[in-house]
Each structure stands twice: as structure tokens, then as C-alpha cells.
């Protein structure tokens, strides 16, 4: 995990939606990241989740409506002091009533007054009955807040506590955390970047049940995508057949299976992209003739399969690359690392290549860590750490060199 995600200052505003019962999980997750969490609650929220529970999990007192302008605690001016202290403000869940108060600039509640004083990023997670969410008044209020710079994260579709099914569920905690991380990212230098990433393996089927593939998990490619999204990039991912780790929120993901499918998907989006990261472990060969039924072993001592080359995606992208595009590749090698990587960079027209020895400890397929040699035409840099840390370092390097 990137170091800047830890030990941050979060102001969490909980309002009176039934989804408030999920908030203790969010507080626990933030505390595991050593974050300091101050919590404000509306009167309605107090009836849905215990302030004592949230206080116990956060290790701090919870600020209630009765503390606002009170003789005992009002002198602490929590709606000013806490917003000055916070690095990001999260409103979750946000009811229709709270959204209305915020859009109108009301300051009659502790939560509303705190939002009026906010000078840091504000993330708002509406959660309510689907008809309430779709009502023109609610849509107008959320639109007003978005125009003022508040980040509105739409609720998810699903079964609602009221018995309805539709768009109104509070997003999963992992998604909320991703939005918090993006708001806290120390760098926002990829706002103009349209990034296309390939990740994961491909599968080349021999018959309906057998295929040729490799152990790629897609972790490195998804780390490149995720850290670019934190920095403001618009990201599309073409992902091979893999169980994607973590949350894919914010990424436009297209699933493919074979190398030919990935080839077609990349060429479809190539004109859109300003930067392409080829991190997928694409199979070089496929069966010349794929059997239409399962090939049985009975009566066969040996089985010969004729293979033909798959299209070379990186080489084709290199041939089509515009002057305003940046092309980044990966070289997963087991020997002659630098020699093979530089040859691949030249052969495929890459601007940068990340070379790693997949036979080294902590650097192979499926690991959470990596060590890469970042090679350009005239320089070499080594990055080591978690795949997320390595990916973030690569984007920082590209930004410093003006390559993106």
C-alpha cells in the first residue's frame, strides 16, 4: 500500500439513513490504516447507529447535535475546528434532507454548519429510497452541490431496506475508501490523461475445456490503472480472465479472454487514448485448429498440437502510435533482463519499458510486490516495493520527465 494512504485525518458526517448501520465497518477500516477519524452525527443518525459504538471504534468522542451551540461544548466551535483539522470530509450516508440543507446553504445543524465551513474536499454518498433519489428536487440539489465542487458518488443498485429494488444503496465500504484515497492523493497531475491499460493473462482454448495460459493475476496492470486514477486520469482497462483483486471502482473495465479479443479491444480504443500501458501477459501462440468437443485421452499415447502466432498487440500499437501518445510496455524475463527488455522496447516502438525478473523472489506472477527496472531511451531507474508503490513511482517519474 502507498504510504500516503495511512495516518490521514478524516471528518465523517453520518446522517439519518438506514444505511448508517454500515458505518462502523468504515470507521474500523480507516482505523486499521491508522487514520484519525472525527465523527459528526445528526439527531436522526443517533437513532440508527449508536454513538457509543462509533466512539469506541474511532477512539474519540462523537459530536452530536446537542454539542452544537451548547453551554458545555459549544465554546469548542466543533463545526469550525474540525473542518480546519480535516483533510477530507465524508458524508455517508447522505439523506435527501441533508442534501437539501447543504444545497440551500443552511447551517442550522452541526453537520450542515460544518459543511458550510469546509475548505477541503467533500465526498457525499447519497443513500435512500430509489424514488426519493430520482425525485427532481433531489437530483437538483445534488446537481447544485456538484457544481460547487462536492464529489457526488451515486448509490448502487440493489435491494433496499424499504422493500424496493433500485438505485439507492450505500456503496460498499471498499468503494468509499477508494474515493477517499483519490481525494487524498498528493498528486493530481494526470487530469488530462486518457489511459488505456491491458492487464491479466489470455487463454487460448484447445477444446471447450482445455487452454494454454500463464499465471498472471493482473495485479501490476491494475495497480498502474488504479494509481493513475488517483492522480486524476480517465482510465479504461482491458482485462483478461482473472479474478480481479480489490475494487474496480472508477475504472472502465472490458473483459476479454483470448489474445485476438484483446487485440481487437485495444485497437478499438487506441485513438481515444493518450497513454497506453501494455501490462497484460498475452499468449504468443494459439492452436491452429481448435477442437469443437473435448479431446479424449483414450487411444492416444501422445497428442500433438500445432500452434500459430497470435497478433503482436504491442508491436501493432507501436506502429500506429501518434506523436502525442505515450506507449509503456512490460518485459517479464527470466534471463538477460536488460538486453531482452531493450530489444523489446526498440522492436515494438515503446517509449518506456518496465523490466522485471519473474524468477526472482517477490517479483513473479501473483505476488503483491515487485522490483522493476524502468528503461527509457537514455536512462534507467529501479523501483521496488508493493506493486501499488511501484506503479505510483512510475507515474511520478513520467510526470517529472514530461513524458505524460
Distance CA 262, CA 280 (A): 9
Q: How many CB atoms lie within 10 A of CB 45?
A: 26
Distance CA 222, CA 245 (A): 8
**Which three cell numbers, joined as nine digits, stand for 215?**
499465471
CA angle centred on 43, ends 78 and 103, rounded to 5°: 70
CA angle centred on 111, ends 27 and 156, rounded to 5°: 55
Catalytic residue chosen out of the listed positions 13, 71, 94, 162? 162
**Which three cell numbers, joined as nine digits, stand for 93?**
450516508
Answer whether 116's CB lies under 8 Å from 88's CB: no
Place of cell 531482452: 340
Place of cell 485476438: 260
Active site residue 363: no
Answer whether 401's CB lies under 8 Å from 375's CB: no
Indicate the SS3 state at residue 83: helix
Q: What is the dihedral of CA 60, 61, 64, 67, to 10 degrees?
A: -130
- What DSSP state is assigned to residue 201? B
Query: Which of 226, 280, 276 lies closest to 257 in space, CA to CA?
Result: 280
Spell out where 153-274 has E strands.
156-159, 165-169, 194-199, 204-205, 211-212, 234-239, 252-255
Distance CA 169, CA 157 (A): 6
Answer whether 16's CB lies under 8 Å from 42's CB: yes
Give catalytic residues, as residue numbers. 162
Amino acid at each position: 500500500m502507498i504510504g500516503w494512504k495511512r495516518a490521514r485525518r478524516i471528518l465523517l458526517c453520518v446522517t439519518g439513513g438506514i444505511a448508517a448501520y454500515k458505518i462502523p465497518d468504515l470507521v474500523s477500516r480507516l482505523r486499521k490504516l491508522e487514520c484519525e477519524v472525527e465523527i459528526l452525527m445528526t439527531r436522526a443518525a443517533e437513532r440508527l447507529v449508536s454513538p457509543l459504538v462509533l466512539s469506541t471504534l474511532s477512539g474519540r468522542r462523537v459530536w452530536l447535535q446537542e454539542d452544537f451551540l451548547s453551554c458545555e461544548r459549544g465554546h469548542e466551535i466543533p463545526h469550525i475546528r474540525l473542518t480546519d483539522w480535516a483533510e477530507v470530509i465524508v458524508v455517508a450516508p447522505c439523506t435527501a434532507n441533508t442534501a437539501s440543507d447543504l444545497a440551500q446553504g443552511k447551517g442550522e445543524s452541526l453537520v450542515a454548519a460544518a459543511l458550510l465551513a469546509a475548505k477541503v474536499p467533500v465526498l457525499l454518498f447519497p443513500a435512500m429510497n430509489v424514488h426519493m433519489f430520482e425525485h427532481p428536487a433531489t437530483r437538483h440539489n445534488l446537481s447544485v452541490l456538484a457544481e460547487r465542487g462536492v464529489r457526488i458518488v451515486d448509490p448502487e443498485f440493489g435491494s433496499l431496506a424499504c422493500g424496493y429494488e433500485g438505485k439507492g444503496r450505500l456503496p460498499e465500504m471498499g468503494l468509499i475508501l477508494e474515493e477517499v484515497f483519490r481525494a487524498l492523493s498528493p498528486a493530481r497531475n494526470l487530469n488530462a490523461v486518457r489511459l488505456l491499460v491491458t492487464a491479466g493473462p489470455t487463454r487460448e482454448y484447445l477444446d471447450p475445456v482445455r487452454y494454454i495460459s500463464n499465471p498472471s493475476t493482473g495485479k501490476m496492470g491494475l495497480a498502474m490503472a488504479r494509481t493513475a486514477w488517483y492522480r486524476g486520469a480517465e482510465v479504461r482497462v482491458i482485462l483478461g480472465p482473472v479474478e480481479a483483486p480489490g475494487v474496480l471502482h472508477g475504472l472502465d473495465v472490458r473483459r476479454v479472454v483470448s489474445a485476438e479479443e484483446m487485440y481487437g479491444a485495444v485497437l478499438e480504443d487506441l485513438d481515444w487514448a493518450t497513454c497506453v500501458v501494455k501490462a497484460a501477459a498475452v499468449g504468443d501462440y494459439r492452436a491452429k485448429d481448435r477442437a469443437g468437443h473435448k479431446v479424449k485421452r483414450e487411444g492416444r499415447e501422445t497428442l500433438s498440437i500445432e500452434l500459430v502466432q497470435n497478433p503482436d498487440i504491442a508491436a501493432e500499437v507501436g506502429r500506429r502510435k501518434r506523436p502525442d501518445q505515450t506507449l509503456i510496455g512490460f518485459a517479464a524475463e527470466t534471463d538477460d533482463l536488460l538486453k531482452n527488455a531493450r530489444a523489446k522496447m526498440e522492436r515494438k516502438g515503446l517509449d518506456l519499458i518496465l523490466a522485471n525478473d519473474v524468477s526472482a523472489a517477490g517479483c513473479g506472477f501473483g505476488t503483491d510486490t515487485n522490483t522493476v527496472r524502468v528503461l527509457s531511451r537514455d536512462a534507467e531507474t529501479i523501483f521496488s516495493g508493493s506493486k501499488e508503490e511501484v506503479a505510483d513511482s512510475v507515474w511520478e517519474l513520467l510526470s517529472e520527465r514530461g513524458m505524460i
